[in-house]
Structure 1
Amino acid sequence: FVPHLVPLNRGIISTCYATLRSSFKKENVFAFYKDFYEDAPFVQILSPGEFPHIKDVIYSNRCRIGIAINNDIRRIIVISSLDNLVKGASGQAVQNMNLMLGLDEKMGLL
């Protein structure tokens, strides 16, 4: 996990690395992420070769995720961006409260 430190007043970009099991194929990784987050209204999995920017998540409860795969060394690189003052704090609290109270997860956040 590598957080990127840049001179901004809000927003986080992080990069995470993992080694793929031999059973995973490159095309299956994108499908796995898409399927896993399909019902997550605030998570967007980007198309192959597309990567997140902080400007796209500022003042939102969204998290955007880009994925790169190096088949030669079976390495997956996951890059995410979110607004740490919304998704990372107050927005996440409201989202969790909504879920705990049985309300629409998006209430008060869109």
Structure 2
Amino acid sequence: MAQMWITMGPQHPMTHGLWTLRVKVDGETVVDTEAELGYIHRGVEKICEARDFTQVTPYCDRLCYVSAMTWSNSYIYAAEDLLEADVPERAEYIRLLAAELQRLA
């Protein structure tokens, strides 16, 4: 059987997402893989340089329509660590609940 490339990923191949994994197969045997990264680069880093940390969160929400909450949470966790901020336990539960609802959607 001839070798062929199959596009795989955590999303449907016809939609954009964070990355795509190309898999080279020979029959049912995986021969090679290539990860293609950087699909969501929009110059956000440069845009955020002129803003304070509270103004960056809306940009994080728009990085990927599939997982907006994940990007916001990642940014907020990093900002809180840098600021050594104490986060109420209730806020942690609300974030966890929102992330789980996003995952299910």
Q: TM-score range by the shorter chain?
A: under 0.3
Q: Report the structure, 1 or 2, having the larger strand content.
A: 1
Relative contact order, CA 8 A, sep 6+: which one is greater? 1
Q: Report the structure, 1 or 2, having the larger helix content.
A: 2
TM-score w.r.t. the length of structure 1 is 0.27
TM-score w.r.t. the length of structure 2 is 0.27
